[in-house]
Amino acid sequence: MTVITICSTKGGAGKTTLTANLGGLLSSLGYRVLLVDADVQPTLSSYYALNYRASKGLRSLLTETEVANTDDADYIIPNDIISTTSIGCDLIFSDDPKGKLQTWVRNTADGRTRLKFLLRKVAQEHNYDFILIDTQGAVGPLQDAAVLAADVLLSPIPTETMSAREFIRGTLGMLKSLSPMSSIGFKVPHLYGVLYRVDKTRDSANVAKEIREGLDGTRGITIINTVVSSVVSWRESATLGIPVYQATKDPKPKSQLMAIIDELGLIEAKP
């Protein structure tokens, strides 16, 4: 089982769209996939239609889980937290409309580390191959928890000057701030950046070049070779609530998603 957290400290970078489409494609390939909406603005929760809506979501998972009275601190997960979507993925939706979960994570002793263990317990109970976590576009305790829960970090970087600057300032700053957690056994995972909404303009090409050259050799970060093109089918598919590769006859979106999966070595994660 592999946990992939899609993160960026900039809103509107494409995290939710990338999460939903990677999850949909992995599911279509026969893998058991769970999407987790860890954004206070719960876009992923409504990205796909639901065949079944559970009565509880992420807030309940974090705050209502009990620890069994045993030496190995086994977790007792609340009932009815798994919703099912129309495209084959399961979902733990965001049930925190007032944003109080951020404060709970900040003020709870194991708030930033609990999600890692709970998701592994959920995966064990439901036999998931992949868990994909969508995060908020800002630094905060809940994003910290999602990062520390991950095996792999994936960050979409739109090839726009302000987005690139925010990635370097905010996202890399967030990872640096969490690095001391390694001293207590919570290592920040390797981050893979994917150039996103790449068009054929000179500006886009220049920003892409600056990102690659500026981050080349940076420890813990890889800008993968695959790029995600700026095409209207990404927006149209979100409006329709279906994966992008079902919304267009253009093979590029699917091939680009498959290339991301390949570069991250995700398919190898399933025995």
The string of pLDDT tens digits covering residues 92-134 is 999 998 889 999 999 998 899 999 999 999 999 999 999 999 9
Residue 251: what pLDDT?
93
The string of pLDDT tens digits covering residues 50-63 is 999 999 999 999 99
pTM equals 0.92
Residue 4: what pLDDT?
98
| Total residues found in the chain within this entry | 271
Has residue 70 got a pLDDT over 70? no
Residue 269: what pLDDT?
45
Has residue 91 got a pLDDT over 90? yes
Domain 2-154+231-269 CATH (choose: 3.40.50.300, 3.40.50.1820, 2.10.109.10, 3.30.1490.190): 3.40.50.300
Strands (E), the chain: 2-6, 33-38, 50-52, 66-67, 75-76, 83-85, 90-92, 130-135, 152-158, 191-198, 221-229
Taking the C-alpha atoms of residue 156 and residue 65, their distance in angstroms, rounded to an integer, is 32
Residue 270: what pLDDT?
44
Gyration radius of the chain's alpha carbons = 18
Q: How sure is the predictor about 85, in pLDDT bands with cuts at 50, 70 and 90? A: very high
State the average pLDDT for the chain.
90
Taking the C-alpha atoms of residue 83 and residue 46, their distance in angstroms, rounded to an integer, is 11
Residue 215: what pLDDT?
82
Strands (E), 8-140: 33-38, 50-52, 66-67, 75-76, 83-85, 90-92, 130-135
Residue 72: what pLDDT?
55
Give the DSSP letter of residue 242.
S
Residue ranges per structural domain of the chain: 2-154+231-269
Query: Which of 159-173, 204-218, 225-239 ranks highest by mean pLDDT?
Result: 225-239
What residue type is assigned to position 75 of the chain?
Y
Q: How sure is the predictor about 268, in pLDDT bands with cuts at 50, 70 and 90? A: low
DSSP output for 173-201: HHHHHHGGGGGGT-PPPPEEEEEEEE-SS
The string of pLDDT tens digits covering residues 209-234 is 988 888 877 888 999 999 999 889 99
Number of Cβ atoms within 10 Å of the Cβ of 110: 12
Residues 118 and 62 sit within 8 Å (Cβ to Cβ) = yes
Tell me the percentage of the chain whose pLDDT exceeds 90.
64
Residue 271: what pLDDT?
42
Number of Cβ atoms within 10 Å of the Cβ of 229: 16
Tell me the percentage of the chain whose pLDDT exceeds 70.
97
